[in-house]
Structure 1
Amino acid sequence: MRVEIWSDIACPWCYIGKARFEKGLESFAHRDDVEVVHRSFELDPGRAKGDVAPVVDMLAAKLGRSREEALAMEEQVASHARSEGLGYRVGDRDHGSTFDIHRLLHLAGKHGRQDELLSLAYRANFAEERSVYDTGTLVELAVEAGLDEAESRAVLADAQAYAEEVRADEREAAELGATGVPFFVLDRRYGVSGGQPAEVFTQALEQAWQGRAITPLGGDAGGAADGRGAACDTEGSCEIPQAGGHS
């Protein structure tokens, strides 16, 4: 069974959702028969490559909030990340175009190192003092993930390398009805939206394995039967679960 995950490195709920999905997968009896493929989705597709700004300032401007409100939003997301055992820096992260990262992830996919690179990029972006919007850092991450340095540099130097693959993923996400990420497609038949709890992913995997529908693709891709998980959309909003909802 194949699970495809549309996500963006700039999305905190994608970072959290990946960890939760992996926990859910670990509890799935047929986990060794699951192939995971990561797909591209840019939350800020029109952003110029060199336009890098502090994430709190970006959120405040895009959502029309004060800097203090934007910082409080970051603190709330950070608490969810830390509850999953993930590192999360608040207030001093950058935000920029993720197009180059997605292109490099397609190169990594070619060599079977996609998950390794994505995990390293998430950690660099959210937990470490390393900017994923710097070409040198991206090359370092690629090498850490097991990719060839010269090939990685060549891809980043050629703006057309894997560009169509990124765009194709994004067109497909739109066709499937995904308006935010993370977005999970199970066996090309069912969809789960948002950073759901681990147990919801386990249930989704079991239902997909048994052939029982969760959310038919092409309809309302809103999530599993338990409701929509927290997600980020292209308007800059990253939903925070309310009391009584999923965390």
Structure 2
Amino acid sequence: MRVEIWSDIVCPWCYLGKARFEAALASFEHRDEVEVTFRAFELDPSRDTVEPVQQLLAGRYGPEAVQMEERLAGLVAAEGLGYRVDREVGNTFDAHRLLHLAREQGVENEMVNALFTANFAEARPLFTGSTLLDVAAEAGLDRAAAERVLADPAAYAEAVREEEQEAARLGATGVPFFVLDRKFGVAGGQSVEVFTRALEQAWGQRAA
């Protein structure tokens, strides 16, 4: 069974949703027969600046932004993950391009984990080439290959855009967006129970 997950590395609900989905998958009877692939989705593809996330949220939501971040921090902590509010937000297109390289090199999940950890748990500046390359190497990517990708704006650019367009065709207006065997969709960072039911339902449809 194939599960595709559209997400962005600066999306806290994607970070949370991945952890909850993996908890559901870990207890799923047929987990060894589930292939998980991550797909590109940019929350703000036109962004060309880097700014503190609290500044961004305050500008959009006002004083409520602090409470939103505190609530998210609590939900993330409940999953055993780190969450720093002093992180930054910037353009994620290069990170998505490197994720395609990671898929080819067989370390896609490791790269997603490394990016999420670096961004949310460590508040590292992922929007500069040097830090992004460091994280890629830590995830197991060949650093020289990653450098070549970042040096070539066309590398994997079309592949990223195709995945984003596919998300739109499937009706995804936000992330995370989970698609199971192209038959069942789950939107948002749902509970472990919701993901468990989705896995069981999708598997049952295969067996029917």
Question: Which TM-score band applies after superposition, normalised by the shorter structure?
Answer: over 0.9
Report matched runs for 1:59-208 at 5 Å. Answer: 59-61=57-59, 63=60, 65-66=61-62, 68-90=63-85, 92-208=86-202
Structure 1 counterpart SS, 2:186: strand
Counterpart CA distance in 2 for 1:130 and 1:89 is 10
Q: Is 1:45 the counterpart of 2:45 in the alignment?
A: yes
Aligned-partner residue type, residue 133 of structure 1? F
Counterpart CA distance in 1 for 2:38 and 2:18 is 10
In structure 2, the residue matched to 1:239 is none
Per-residue CA deviations over 1:150-180 (Å, capped at 9, x if unaligned) read 1101101111110011100000000000001
Aligned-partner residue type, residue 23 of structure 1? A
In structure 2, the residue matched to 1:234 is none
Counterpart CA distance in 2 for 1:71 and 1:8 is 22
Aligned-partner residue type, residue 123 of structure 1? T
Provide the aligned C-alpha RMSD in A.
1.0
Counterpart CA distance in 1 for 2:8 and 2:96 is 8
Choose from 56, 59, 71 the match for 1:58.
56
Moved over 6 A (4+): none
Per-residue CA deviations over 1:106-144 (Å, capped at 9, x if unaligned) read 110111111000101100100114111121111111111
The answer on whether the counterparts of 2:102 and 2:141 sit within 8 Å (CA) in structure 1 is yes
Counterpart CA distance in 1 for 2:167 and 2:38 is 12
Aligned-partner residue type, residue 182 of structure 2? R
Please, what TM-score do these two structures have when normalized by structure 2? 0.96
Counterpart CA distance in 2 for 1:96 and 1:60 is 16
The answer on whether the counterparts of 2:41 and 2:167 sit within 8 Å (CA) in structure 1 is yes
Deviation at 1:189, TM superposition (A): 1.1
Per-residue CA deviations over 1:186-232 (Å, capped at 9, x if unaligned) read 011111111111121111111001118xxxxxxxxxxxxxxxxxxxx
Counterpart CA distance in 1 for 2:34 and 2:136 is 24
For this pair of structures, how many residues does the alignment match? 206
Report matched runs for 1:207-222 at 5 Å. Answer: 207-211=201-205
Structure 2 counterpart SS, 1:87: coil
Higher relative contact order (CA 8 A, sep 6+): 2
Counterpart CA distance in 2 for 1:156 and 1:118 is 17
Aligned-partner residue type, residue 55 of structure 2? D
Please, what TM-score do these two structures have when normalized by structure 1? 0.81
In structure 1, the residue matched to 2:25 is 25
Aligned-partner residue type, residue 77 of structure 1? L
Counterpart CA distance in 2 for 1:152 and 1:86 is 27
| Structure richer in helix, relative to its length | 2
Q: Percent of aligned pairs with the same residue?
A: 62
**Cα 1:129–1:55 shift into 2, 3 Å:** closer
Per-residue CA deviations over 1:48-77 (Å, capped at 9, x if unaligned) read 2xx10000111122x2x33x4222211111
Aligned-partner residue type, residue 52 of structure 2? P
In structure 2, the residue matched to 1:221 is none
Counterpart CA distance in 2 for 1:149 and 1:73 is 37
The answer on whether the counterparts of 2:99 and 2:111 sit within 8 Å (CA) in structure 1 is yes
The answer on whether the counterparts of 2:5 and 2:37 sit within 8 Å (CA) in structure 1 is yes
